[in-house]
């Protein structure tokens, strides 16, 4: 089956947006299968920078159909803003080009309020969520009382359910989180008006994709967040509330299990994380500031969704190998190699010690309690001084940079097929 999956190998922000943009050139349908507007994808095309939270970055190519699958939770306000932003850049979003699954769940302003209230109540144990209402929306989904896009097609019943939803949320905010009572009617009305604008885009997406596949069309499945934020396989409880791994494609788009052509794992040449939770190779001080950047450039390590400075650290090959296994990744796309230019030595985590003993991959768990007890074992490799941003061929890379990449692929057992060396769309080295 002509399906390619693009999936994050770390804690999100690996650069999936630019990869999806690149691969979309040869794809018919680009489909998001998980998460919501907690994601932030930045794509640089010439002097234009697109920051997308929901619509797949494949939308920038005029021939693609973009899909928000049933695994997605969707905030109508964000989606409408994004449509407007794209429209003013000359990219019209029509129902022919954007399909929204009838079984995708909606995020309401009440979900956002609950998300923030729960975080505040957790105090020091905060997850550090994006505050976008993701957790509460998925909670309503699993509690079987969520509002789905298809429900919009019966507006009378939908209005009643929205009213109930806001009243219940308001009760929770005051009873559980001791928040002042919220005037819910204006919020509900605004939400209804925004949600109604999505009606022309709502489709039985699973059926459409299965049909497209039977016709030989190609699908690019775009994961949001990263493997280590997966609800089951990530550093629980410091995770998001969806299935971020490649396995989520089948349930998140409504297609049957079938052979996948390529599972492209996206990893930075170092490691970043936003929000709380363990980070064994985290750095502080000068090297951290060097990797993070000052924030003056849109590609520096500050969250696209929240603007928070990202935590940074050395590349962790224990976690990367785990992500390769969990996703069945067939190749790696290494991003931001250019950021490492200027370091004399680069450190790579090649193993962990826990309670004085080395951990075998077979005993490994990404669960937070386990990871917190792990001490990284590092190997130092030589760095390089050259600026890589203008390079487009493998042979042009400094020897030390090529050796770094080979070290990564030998450790993970799969090839690094692409390397990005700058934010611009064309700043990619593709290996034959």
**Which residue's CB comes closest to ligand IMP?**
275
- C-beta of residue 35 within 8 angstroms of C-beta of residue 55: no
Residue 413 CB, nearest distance to ligand IMP (Å)? 26
Q: Which is nearer to ligand IMP, 249 or 429 (CB)?
A: 249
Q: Which is nearer to ligand IMP, 158 or 279 (CB)?
A: 279
Task: Kindly give the pairing relationship between strand 416-420 and strand 428-430.
Answer: antiparallel
Q: Under the rule (CB under 6 A), what is the footprint of ligand IMP? A: 11-13, 38-40, 127-130, 132, 134-135, 224-225, 229, 238, 240-241, 274-275
Burial class (CB in 10 A: 0-12, 13-18, 19+), 284: exposed
β-bridge partners, 29: 65, 219
- C-beta of residue 246 within 8 angstroms of C-beta of residue 3: no
Classify 36 as helix, strand or coil.
Answer: coil
Burial class (CB in 10 A: 0-12, 13-18, 19+), 348: buried
Residue 8 CB, nearest distance to ligand IMP (Å)? 8
**What 8-state DSSP symbol labels residue 186?**
H
For residue 228, CA distances in Å to 233, 235, 318, 329, 340 come to 7, 6, 12, 14, 23
Q: Give Cβ neighbours of residue 213 (< 8 Å, ≥ 6 apart).
A: 1, 2, 3, 219, 255, 258
Residue 271 CB, nearest distance to ligand IMP (Å)? 12
Angle (CA) 76-93-99 rounded to 5° is 65
For 259, how many CA atoms within 13 A lie in the half-sphere containing its CB? 3
Token pair for 314: 């050395």
Q: Which is nearer to ligand IMP, 42 or 240 (CB)?
A: 240
Q: Assign residue 407 a region: left if phi > 0, alpha if psi is -120 to 50, beta otherwise? A: alpha
Q: Which is nearer to ligand IMP, 76 or 206 (CB)?
A: 76
Token pair for 382: 């030589």
Q: Which residue has the tokens 């695994």?
A: 71
Q: Can you tell me the distance from the alpha carbon of 276 to that of 253, in angstroms, rounded to the nearest whole number? A: 29
Residue 239 CB, nearest distance to ligand IMP (Å)? 6
Helix residue ranges per DSSP H, 235-367: 248-253, 285-292, 317-327
Residues annotated as catalytic are 13, 41
Residue 380 CB, nearest distance to ligand IMP (Å)? 28
Ordered DSSP codes for 321-332:
HHHHHHHT--EE
Residue 14 CB, nearest distance to ligand IMP (Å)? 9
Residue 275 CB, nearest distance to ligand IMP (Å)? 2
Residue 234 CB, nearest distance to ligand IMP (Å)? 9
Q: Which is nearer to ligand IMP, 67 or 224 (CB)?
A: 224
* C-alpha 70: how far from chain center: 16
β-bridge partners, 345: 382
For residue 144, CA distances in Å to 34, 119, 137, 141, 148 come to 18, 23, 11, 5, 10
- C-beta of residue 404 within 8 angstroms of C-beta of residue 346: yes
Q: Which is nearer to ligand IMP, 65 or 117 (CB)?
A: 117
Q: Which is nearer to ligand IMP, 102 or 230 (CB)?
A: 230
């Amino acid at each position: 089956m002509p399906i390619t999956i693009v999936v994050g190998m770390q804690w999100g922000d690996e650069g999936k947006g630019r990869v999806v943009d690149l691969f979309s050139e040869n794809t018919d349908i680009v489909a998001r299968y998980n998460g919501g507007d907690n994601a932030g994808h930045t794509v640089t095309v010439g002097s234009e920078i697109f920051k997308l939270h929901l619509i797949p970055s494949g939308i920038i190519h005029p021939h693609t159909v973009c899909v928000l699958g049933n695994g997605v939770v969707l905030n109508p306000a964000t989606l409408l803003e994004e449509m407007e932003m794209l429209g003013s850049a000359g990219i019209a979003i029509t129902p022919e080009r954007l399909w929204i699954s009838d079984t995708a769940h909606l995020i309401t302003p009440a979900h956002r309020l609950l998300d923030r209230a729960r975080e505040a109540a957790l105090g020091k144990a905060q997850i550090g969520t994006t505050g976008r209402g993701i957790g509460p929306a998925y909670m309503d989904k699993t509690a079987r009382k969520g509002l789905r896009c298809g429900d919009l097609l019966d507006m009378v019943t939908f209005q009643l359910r929205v009213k109930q939803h806001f009243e219940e949320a308001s009760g929770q905010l005051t009873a559980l989180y001791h928040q002042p009572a919220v005037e819910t009617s204006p919020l509900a009305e605004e939400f209804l008006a925004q949600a109604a604008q999505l009606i022309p885009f709502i489709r039985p997406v699973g059926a459409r994709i299965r049909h497209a596949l039977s016709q030989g069309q190609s699908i690019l499945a775009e994961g949001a967040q990263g493997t280590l934020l997966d609800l089951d396989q990530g550093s629980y409880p410091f995770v998001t509330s969806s299935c971020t791994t490649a396995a989520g494609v089948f349930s998140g788009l409504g297609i049957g299990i079938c052979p996948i052509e390529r599972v492209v794992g996206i990893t930075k040449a170092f490691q970043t994380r936003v929000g709380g939770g363990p980070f064994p190779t985290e750095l502080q001080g000068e090297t951290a500031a060097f990797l993070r950047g000052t924030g003056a450039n849109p590609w520096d390590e500050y969250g696209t969704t929240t603007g928070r400075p990202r935590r940074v650290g050395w590349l962790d090959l224990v976690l990367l190998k785990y992500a390769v296994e969990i996703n069945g990744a067939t190749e790696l796309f290494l991003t931001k190699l250019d950021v490492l230019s200027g370091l004399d030595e680069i450190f790579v985590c090649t193993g962990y010690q826990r309670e004085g003993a080395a951990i075998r991959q077979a005993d490994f768990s990404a669960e937070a309690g386990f990871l917190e007890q792990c001490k990284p074992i590092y190997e130092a490799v030589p760095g390089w001084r050259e600026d890589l941003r203008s390079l487009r061929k493998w042979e042009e890379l400094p020897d030390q940079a090529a050796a770094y990449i080979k070290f990564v692929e030998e450790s993970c057992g799969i090839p690094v097929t692409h390397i990005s060396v700058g934010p611009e769309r064309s700043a990619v080295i593709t290996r034959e």
